[in-house]
């Protein structure tokens, strides 16, 4: 079963409710008259992505969708039997090559977190399964501050020390 963060936007939006609304932010008087803010809710999980910082609804939708995919990666776990083609295409020589702003980042993050949680938060074992070094796996998680906080909270809840 694939993780929702790995779905294309077209596929993911089928399971979502998209709502436009007015929000404060840039735009002055225009802001009070136009619904440029976007809230996208993944209906099966209730997880949301929100964006209102742009004056353009299309840009806010793009940012809200990316944030939804990141939130799905953080808070929704799926069982994995092996690495995906996407993961393998983003790794070589025990290194992970992806920019945190790239559209594939939420899917790669979801896969890493699925394995880490499945391995009881053991970074060494997770890194071995994902065919990367432990430091690269930690660097991937650290590249998103919410992911880093989430992982350390999971470790704290499990009685493990936080990663540095």
Same domain, 37 and 91: no
Domain boundary among 75, 95, 121: 75
DSSP string of the chain, one letter each residue: ---GGGS-HHHHHTTEEEEEE--SSTTGGGGGTS--EEEEEETTT--EEEE-SSS-HHHHHHHHHHHHHHHHHHH-----SS--HHHHHTEETBEE---TTSTTHHHHHHHHHHHHHHTTT-HHHHHHHHTB-HHHHHHHHHTSHHHHHHHHHHHHHTTPPPP-
pTM over the 0.75 mark: yes
The model's pLDDT over 47-100, given as tens digits with 9 standing for 90+, comes to 999 998 877 788 999 999 999 999 999 999 998 878 999 999 999 999 999 999
Is residue 163 situated within a structural domain?
no
Same domain, 124 and 90: yes
Same domain, 62 and 107: no
Same domain, 110 and 151: yes
Is residue 141 situated within a structural domain?
yes
The model's pLDDT over 8-52, given as tens digits with 9 standing for 90+, comes to 889 999 999 999 877 655 555 555 556 778 999 999 999 999 998
Domain of residue 95, residue span? 85-157
Domain boundary among 75, 95, 127: 75
Number of domains in the chain: 2
Mean pLDDT of the residues in the chain: 90
Same domain, 67 and 10: yes
Same domain, 90 and 70: no
| CATH code where residue 70 lies | 3.30.160.20
């Amino acid at each position: 079963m694939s993780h929702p963060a790995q779905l294309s936007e077209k596929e993911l939006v089928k399971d979502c409710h998209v709502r436009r609304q007015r929000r404060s932010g840039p735009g002055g008087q225009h802001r009070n008259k136009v619904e440029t803010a976007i809230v996208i809710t993944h209906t099966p999980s209730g997880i949301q992505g929100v964006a209102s910082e742009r004056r353009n609804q299309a840009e806010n939708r793009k940012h809200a969708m990316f944030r939804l995919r990141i939130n799905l990666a953080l808070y929704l776990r799926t069982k994995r039997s092996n690495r995906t083609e996407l993961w393998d295409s983003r790794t070589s020589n025990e290194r992970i090559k992806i920019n945190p702003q790239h559209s594939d980042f939420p899917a790669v993050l979801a896969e890493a977190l699925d394995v880490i949680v499945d391995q009881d938060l053991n970074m060494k074992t997770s890194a071995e399964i994902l065919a990367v070094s432990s430091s690269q796996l930690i660097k991937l998680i650290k590249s998103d501050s919410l992911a880093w906080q989430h992982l350390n909270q999971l470790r704290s809840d499990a009685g493990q020390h936080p990663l540095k």
